[in-house]
Amino acid sequence: MSNTAPSHAPTITRLPLAERLKPWLPVLLVPVLILLGFLAIPATSSWLTLTVSGLAMGMMIFVIASGMTLVFGLMDVINFGHGAFISFGAFVGTSVLLALGAMTGAPSLLLNLLAVAGAVLAAMVVTGGMGWAFERVIVRPVYGSHLKQILVTMGGLIVAEQLIYVIWGGHEIVIARPETLKGAFTFAGAALEKYRVLAVAVGLAVFLALRLVLRRTKLGLIVRAGVENPEMVQAMGYNITRVFVGVFVAGSALAGLGGVMWALYQEVITAPMGNEIMILVFIVVIIGGLGSVEGCFIGALTVGLVQNYAAFLEPKLALISNIALMVAILMWRPMGMVPVVKAKG
């Protein structure tokens, strides 16, 4: 009589494919959308052009929206004044680019990129500093009350917009792209604007950097834990307020970066531009799931693509298409595509 255990081969039933795919559905949304666009748009070359410009737009919105969604996730603070940082970033960046006219006008890629980098740096420093002041003066006294946050940050937006008028005057400013970033190159028969490809690259870099920081560093761990349960993080001895201020400043700086990118994308800037972009940002933040960077990324790309495809297929429906997208996704997943798990209610 052997003492071996009875032969027992437990069979763990594999979940059906549909079940296993479920958590990945939001991630699949973007490729599926691109595929749908390919089927709906007759010419491959225009499909490629539209896809690149949709991705570029999505990346810019992501850069702007990521800070806002994190701020909400971390401290439950909803910042309607985020648009002010976009406008300020655009105006500061444009002023720097106009001042560096010699560098942007030269037909050298290195000099052009240096000028753009200088503009971006200036814009991010200014909007980051503004974010710090905004958090101190405007947001700090109204923690915990959404109603007051919306009102006060809206007031902050009005004041900031008026300050732009005071500093730069009321008229719109036209800004040309640097010499080597003008024009397009042809790829597979489609004209791809150089600047849009650069915007996609920058957006992707920001996303990867954010993910790296959030997933691989201790700071990221604290931020992620703070999103889930701020009180517990505080109980562990971390100063969550300081982390929050840091995230707020970083988010504002990213909005400034987005503002510069948007300014070079549109090649014209106005004081209310930030608030106009915010409409897309709100849609992205809602469909992505408030507080989730990944959801924000997927949402931004979806919105950018849908907007561009719709503008091509049915021009009048471009803005409505985003509302329809938001409604559809809210019906499908009421808490957004990547819902944030909160320890408290």
Partner 1 sequence: MMRLLSGDAPRSRVLALLLALILLALAFAPFLFPGSRSLETAARICVVIVLVASYDLLLGYGGIVSFAHTMFFGMGAYGVAIAADRMGPGYDALALGALAGLIAAGIVALLVALLSLRVRAIFFAMITLAIASAVAVLVSQLSAYTGGEDGMNLRIPRELTPAFRMGEVFGLRITGKILNYYLVFTGCLALFLVMLRIVNSPFGRVMLAIRENAFRAEAIGYRVVVYRAVATCLSAMIAALAGSLFAIWLRYVGPSTTLGMELMMDILLIVVIGGMGTMYGAVVGTAIFVLAQNYLKELMGGLSEATSALPLIPDLLSPDRWLLWLGVLFILSVYFFPTGIVGRLRGTR
Give the residues lining the site for partner 1 (CB under 8 A): 78, 80, 138, 141-142, 146-148, 150-152, 154-156, 158-159, 162-163, 165-166, 170, 272, 275-276, 278-279, 282-283, 285-286, 290, 316, 319-320, 322-323, 326-327, 330, 334-335
Q: How far is the CB of 47 from partner 1 (least distance, A)?
A: 25
Question: Contact 202/264 with Cβ under 8 angstroms?
Answer: no
Cα torsion 333, 319, 156, 300: sign: positive
Q: How far is the CB of 325 from partner 1 (least distance, A)?
A: 11
**C-beta of 60 vs 285, nearer to partner 1:** 285
**C-beta of 243 vs 286, nearer to partner 1:** 286
Q: How far is the CB of 314 from partner 1 (least distance, A)?
A: 12
**C-beta of 82 vs 177, nearer to partner 1:** 82
Q: Which residues contact 73 (CB under 8 A, 6 or more apart)?
A: 227, 290, 291, 292, 340
From 254, 235, 334, 246, select the one nearest 293 (Cα to Cα). 254
Cα torsion 291, 292, 298, 300: sign: positive
Q: How many CB atoms lie within 10 A of CB 311?
A: 17
Place of tokens 């988010």: 251
Q: How far apart are CA 345 and CA 340, in angstroms?
A: 12
**C-beta of 100 vs 325, nearer to partner 1:** 325
Maximum pairwise Cα distance, the chain? 96
Q: How far is the CB of 322 from partner 1 (least distance, A)?
A: 7
**C-beta of 134 vs 195, nearer to partner 1:** 134
Q: How far is the CB of 50 from partner 1 (least distance, A)?
A: 20
Q: How far apart are CA 51 and CA 197, in angstroms?
A: 11
274: tokens are 């930030």
Q: How far is the CB of 313 from partner 1 (least distance, A)?
A: 16
Helix or strand holding residue 137 (H, E): none
Q: How far apart are CA 336 and CA 345, in angstroms?
A: 16
Q: How far is the CB of 148 from partner 1 (least distance, A)?
A: 6
**C-beta of 203 vs 289, nearer to partner 1:** 289
**C-beta of 21 vs 324, nearer to partner 1:** 324
**C-beta of 178 vs 251, nearer to partner 1:** 251
Nearest-Å Rg of the Cα atoms of the chain is 22
- H helices of 169-317, where? 194-216, 218-228, 230-235, 240-266, 273-288, 293-313
Q: How far is the CB of 229 from partner 1 (least distance, A)?
A: 19
